[in-house]
Amino acid sequence: MSDARIREDICRFGRSLFERGLTPGSSGNISVKLADGGWLVTPTNASLGFLDPARLSRLGPDGRLISGDAPTKEVPLHTSLYQTRGSAGAIVHLHSTHSVALSMLPEIDPRAALPPMTPYYLMKCGQTALLPYYRPGDPAVADAIRGLAGKYSSVLLANHGPVVSGETLEAAVFAMEELEETAKLYLLLRGLNPRYLSPQQVADLTKAFGLALPEHSHD
């Protein structure tokens, strides 16, 4: 895919996420890995709803700015995910309401932030890890991501927001949307003793779709 097409896709998906209220103001960031090992990423303090393709930040394989505006302060977060998730071709980080709310609840299992509620959550996101709070842009978050050893494509940053990687930008965006909707379901059903997928149903999905889930289950 050409550089121009990738830039257009970042802006198109960013605008879609913004217009549907999935990330407010100038929050959130998107990156796409390039063939030379570098990547394109949204600039710092840029609204995803009003991105300019020509001003996206072009980083080299070492993470240094080559052209465009100054990149998002979350470069360490993106860098560590690319380093540990070999299949990652794109990363989306948002401040979506329900996922942020989920990250603040006391009962959340950091190894599996959501129970197996729907087949599509498992198919798109697998399981979601919850990391402790780090201030935005804190380089220490990179070590926390590396500590997950590439097992998770979907991660919640406590009191901050979700970050999801995918093989393509479209896959990352769709997985992010599935995570947000599942977090919304969890909040709607909290305290109502809902029926989750059984271990047998999860095993069937894993076998049928070749899912690679971390070896943790939600109690």
Q: Using the 8-state DSSP alphabet, how is residue 152 labeled?
A: -
CB neighbours of residue 20 within 10 Å: 12
Under a CB-based contact definition with an 8 Å cutoff, are residues 164 and 179 in contact? yes
Whole-number CA gyration radius for the chain? 17
Does residue 120 carry a catalytic annotation? yes
- Write down the catalytic residue from 120, 133, 152, 196: 120
Burial environment of residue 34 by CB neighbours within 10 A (0 to 12, 13 to 18, 19 or more): middle
Instruction: Give the single-character DSSP code of 133.
Output: P
Task: Please give the positions annotated as active site.
Answer: 120
